[in-house]
Amino acid sequence: MTQVKLNQILEQLETLESDELQHLHQVIQTHLTAREQAIQRTTFHQALLTSVLVNQLKKPLRNQATERRLIEVQGKPVSETIIEERR
């Protein structure tokens, strides 16, 4: 980012209300956390490749996620049944 753009953003900060500043802070924190996690993941993957523990990394297939539906159970909750059977 150029210094001119950064200065413009800093000037615009002065005009924001406090709730807008809090929202901006949350968005920035989310963005920074996501970026840090991506860097850590990349570093970890590179370390695996360098150590020859793995020879390739496959990307997960995220578009094949199936929608999970809850099922209705008649009678006692399943958790109670499991506890009774373990006794």
The DSSP-derived string for 24-56 is HHHHHHHHHHHHHHHHHHHHHHHHHHHHTS-S-
State the maximum Cα–Cα separation within the chain, in Å, rounded to a whole number. 70
What Rg, from alpha-carbon coordinates, does the chain have? 24
Res. 39: pLDDT tops 90: yes
> pLDDT digit string (tens) for 42-58?
999 999 889 988 888 88
Per-residue CA distances from 83 to 45, 77, 87 (Å): 41, 10, 7
Q: Which has more pLDDT, 69 or 49?
A: 49
